[in-house]
Amino acid sequence: MTATLERRPVARKVEPKHRKLRSASATLWQASPLTYLGLIIAIVLSIFPILWSFIMATRDNSSVYQIPPPFTPGTHLGTNVSRVLNNTDASFLYGLANSAVVASVVTLSVVFFSTLAGFAFAKLKFKGRNALLLIIILTMMVPTQLGIIPLYMIMVKLGWTDTLQAVIVPFLVKGFGVFMMRQYAASAVSDELIEAARVDGCSTFRIYWSIVLPALRPAAAVLGLLTFMETWNDFLWPYVVLTGDTPTVQISLQILATAYYKTDYVQVFTGTALAIVPLLVVFIAFGRQIIGGIMEGSVKA
């Protein structure tokens, strides 16, 4: 008697669909060696000018012409810093203080008015809203250089030449900031939340201060950092409207580079390094909060 064995079909393991999508997504976003190489090159190119300025600030003028150039710090940092700070032509400390005042006032003003106007354009309904927003966008298309001559004539009429208000007042509001805050407020602030606040009896400014401004904090922090850096590094307009008697830090650097028959490059490098320090301090102090705010805002959105 012959026994017949029946073959049963072997069940195959079917991988869930979400696992396939997850593995495909992980493969798509996995960094390749070429990506790491590109990032390393970008980091080196970004850090090298700053590192080179600090290295040359610790050496003497003979090191500037060395081939290959030195890549290790020297021992002349204290002497070079003392020479820059004691340079009466450049007034470097005075320039640092003026730049700190100008950059701080402009940054606070731009953040405040940009968030206020962005809230109005995004959530308030009034006649001419789209037309006004279009005008603001158009102002962003006009290069700053085209307005230097009429702006300088206005400063002369007001008697503001060689004063700090000449480099503060024209930049208290910026179209880019208003447009950026409008775009962010449109998605970060819900209409239901504003309506609930109105039902509770809040005024428009109270809604802005207590509800809208905290929601705009991530974008406002980024705008503040960009504005501070732009204002601190601005050279053209201060060079036009200010003199060596009321310099900003960029004007002081320009004086260090051109005030002598032979350029003292070590003084220029040392002044550049000192001018970079406040930017590094601001970024280190607020960089983590800014990045954390960006991530928080992206998750909420």
Render pLDDT for 216-263 as a digit per residue (tens, 0 to 9): 988 898 899 889 999 999 999 999 999 878 899 999 998 888 866 667
The residue ranges of the chain whose pLDDT is under 50 are 1-3, 25, 297-301
* Token couple for 196: 């609930």
Q: Tell me whether residue 256 is in a domain.
A: yes
Q: Tell me whether residue 248 is in a domain.
A: yes
pLDDT at 292: 61
Q: Tell me whether residue 27 is in a domain.
A: no
pLDDT at 11: 52
CB-based contacts of 224, cutoff 8 Å, min separation 6: 107, 108, 110, 111
pLDDT at 299: 46
Distance from C-alpha of 186 to C-alpha of 130, rounded to nearest angstrom: 14
What amino acid occupies position 79? Answer: T
pLDDT at 60: 83
Q: Which has the closest alpha carbon to 234: 254, 248, 245, 255?
A: 248
pLDDT at 98: 95
Q: Tell me whether residue 228 is in a domain.
A: yes
Q: Tell me whether residue 66 is in a domain.
A: no
The average confidence (pLDDT) of the chain is 84
Report the domain count for the chain.
Answer: 1
pLDDT at 49: 84
pLDDT at 40: 92
HEC-encoded secondary structure of the chain: CCCCCCCCCCCCCCCCHHHHHHHHHHHHHCCCHHHHHHHHHHHHHHHHHHHHHHHHCCCCHHHHHCCCCCCCCCCCHHHHHHHHHCCCCCCHHHHHHHHHHHHHHHHHHHHHHHHHHHHHHHHCCCCCHHHHHHHHHHHHCCCHHHHHHHHHHHHHHHCCCCCCHHHHHHHCCCHHHHHHHHHHHHHHCCHHHHHHHHHCCCCHHHHHHHHHHHHCHHHHHHHHHHHHHHHHHCCHHHHHHCCCCCCCHHHHHHHHHHCCCCCCHHHHHHHHHHHHHHHHHHHHHHHHHHHHHHHHHHHHC
Q: Which has the closest alpha carbon to 218: 124, 131, 286, 147?
A: 286
Q: Tell me whether residue 104 is in a domain.
A: yes
Domain that includes residue 127, residue range:
82-300
pLDDT at 174: 92
Q: Tell me whether residue 69 is in a domain.
A: no
pLDDT at 166: 94
Is the pTM of the predicted complex or chain greater than 0.85?
A: no
CB-based contacts of 26, cutoff 8 Å, min separation 6: none
Supply the CATH number for residue 171's domain: 1.10.3720.10
Q: Tell me whether residue 254 is in a domain.
A: yes
